[in-house]
Amino acid sequence: MNTPALVVFVALFVIVTAIGFVASRWRPADLDQLHEWGLGGRRFGTVVTWFLLGGDLYTAYTFVAVPALVFGKGAIGFFALPYTIIAYPLVFVIMPRLWSVARKHGYITGADFVRGRYESGTLALAVAITGILATMPYIALQLVGMQVVLAAMGISGDAPLVVAFVVLAAYTYQSGLRAPALIAIAKDVIIYIAVLAAVVTIPAKLGGYGAIFDAVPPKKLILAPQQASAYSTLALGSALALFLYPHSLTGILSSSGRAVIRRNSAMLPAYSFLLGLIALLGYMAVASGVDKSPAYAEGFRQYGANYAVPALFLQSFPAWFAGFGFAAIAIGALVPAAIMSIAAANLFTRNIYKELIRPACTPKEEAGVAKLASLVVKFGALVFIVAVPQEYAIQLQLLGGVWILQTFPALVLGLYTRWLHRWALLAGWAAGMTTGTWMAHTLAFKGNVYPLKLFGTIVPGYAALWALIVNLAVAVVLSAVFNAAGVARGKDATSPEDYGGH
């Protein structure tokens, strides 16, 4: 067991836990209201939103899996960078509209908007269930990130994970979205210190960046021509999907205004820069040869490429600072796990419980159900990761990305046009879900790049994007048919001014 690392790790963890509980008294308000518990009262300004979204979108799993992909597969793993470059201009243009209409009508989830826009509980339910299905394995994967760093410190077994998650569940229950918002500030400071230290000191030891890139096999260093379409469709599809995830929408809707979102679109790329540096840790792991060192053989055997960054930290840093870096990753798991469980709880409460079970429930009951649901969601993720082989969680998260993109037409196009018919959107969603799942199935759920045969050539691309094209085609064709046939379109609860102009 690595005692100095563990001492630093536990100390940071305790501080963060204290912050989580104190958060309930930060900007005090009635936490028995769902928009207070689940959206922090829509009051977060530019700075808090920057930390919250940064902590929310760049998860522990990202910090482990992105460099692991670069370590194992080379340049293709770098698609995370263009993905996070193009995501923010999209947020800049699209999300202020969603914020305005949600503020006007008290919408807490994306599905709330869909329900109001199309007067269709069924379409809203499809959006809500997709969101919950995509989020659950994502929460489970945060535990994987934690498990890997615990193993690197010589801690095995499920008990520490259970403790960490029980603590997390307790303060999320008590403080709601305020807890991850406040913790995110501490978390991001720790992460920035750890990563900047890594990208300065490790290359110095390895002989500079030139030497690091020279150690990478030339074939892996840049993309092969047949990888180009996979690279750009992965980047585009992931960018379009990013802000459909319930936890991202929760972060957006909790901000205090349109200008906060617009400003953050220019400021959040600081995290993209950080992510690019983190991706390069994968090459540093290659250059340092940790995978050939007998000291880390057991870790690599158990966790595969995901062990690359922990091994690199152990080899390159003094033990206490390795503990600091591991704490960055583990705390990096807590923030998104908390926000994801709150987002899933909001969806369950608003779009399943209130829709199907108790339409007349009081605001207090609504908040109570959401708090309980957040516990159930986290408990489910914990059971999943303890009882089911880890690779299933990873496969499900890949599928989750394919699924969540299928809510794009209803949610994003719905912000701009009411031309699409509610039943056509539902049919398109079903077609997209089926196509995407089928493509993933033909890949044995091991990858998400589907080789599409197009006019005699094969175009490998992100299955989510291929499925979205099918989804859109069905939605457009059926909308034309249903609109022409005069099928009832439902009443639009929103009006053009509600979207805030542009």
Partner 1 sequence: MRRERRLWPWYAALLAPFVATLWVPFFDSAEPRLGGVPFFYWYQFLWVGISSALTAVVYFATQREDPPRDPPPQRSEGRGARSASPPSRDRDGGST
Near partner 1 in 215-254, by CB under 8 A: 218, 221-223, 225, 228-229, 231-232, 235-236
Total Cβ atoms within 10 A of residue 85: 15
CB of 223 to partner 1, least distance (A): 5
354/130 Cα distance (integer angstroms): 17
Q: Kindly report the three-state secondary structure assignment for every residue of 226-239.
A: HHHHHHHHHHHHHH
Closest approach, Cβ 41 to partner 1, in A, equals: 7
Smallest gap from Cβ 209 to partner 1, in A, equals 5
* Min separation Cβ 265 and partner 1, Å: 5
Of residues 459-498, those binding partner 1 (CB under 8 A): 497-498
Q: Which is nearer to partner 1, 238 or 316 (CB)?
A: 238
Q: Find the binding residues for partner 1 in span 71-100 (CB under 8 A).
A: 75, 78, 81-82, 84-86, 88-89, 92-93, 100
- For the CB of residue 484, give the shortest distance to partner 1 in the complex, in Å: 27
Q: Which stretch binds partner 1 (CB under 8 A): 26-34, 57-65, 301-309, 391-399?
A: 26-34
Cα–Cα distance list, 42 to 116, 354, 442 (Å): 19, 21, 43
CA distance 338 to 180: 6
Nearby residues of 406 by Cβ (< 8 Å), 6 or more positions away? 130, 428, 429, 432, 433, 436, 464, 467, 468, 471
Residue 498 parent element (H or E) = none
- 413 near partner 1, rule: CB under 8 A: no
Q: Is residue 265 within 8 Å of 187, Cβ to Cβ?
A: no
> Is 41 among the residues that bind partner 1 (CB under 8 A)?
yes
- Cβ distance to partner 1 smaller for residue 209 or 379: 209
Exposed/middle/buried for residue 383 (C-beta within 10 Å: 0-12, 13-18, 19+): exposed
| Strands 449-454 vs 457-462: parallel, antiparallel or unpaired | antiparallel
Enter the tokens of residue 371: 């708090």
By CB under 8 A, is residue 272 in contact with partner 1? Answer: yes
Q: Is 157 in the site for partner 1 (CB under 8 A)?
A: no
Residues 373-412 contacting partner 1, CB under 8 A? none
Q: Is 310 in the site for partner 1 (CB under 8 A)?
A: no
> Footprint of partner 1 on residues 324-363 (CB under 8 A)?
363
CB atoms within 10 A of CB 151: 18
Regarding 269 and contact with partner 1 (CB under 8 A), the answer is: yes
Distance (Å, whole) CA 230 – CA 76: 8
- Interface with partner 1, residue 276, by CB under 8 A: yes
Which residue(s) pair with 459 in the sheet? 452
The residue (of 326 and 462) whose beta carbon lies closer to partner 1 is 462
Number of residues that bind partner 1 (CB under 8 A): 71
Least distance in Å: CB of 224 to partner 1? Answer: 9
Q: Is 257 in the site for partner 1 (CB under 8 A)?
A: yes
Q: How far is the CB of 93 from partner 1 (least distance, A)?
A: 6
Give the pair of three-digit tokens for residue 184: 């995110």
Select the residue interacting with partner 1 from 22, 133, 262, 413 (CB under 8 A).
262
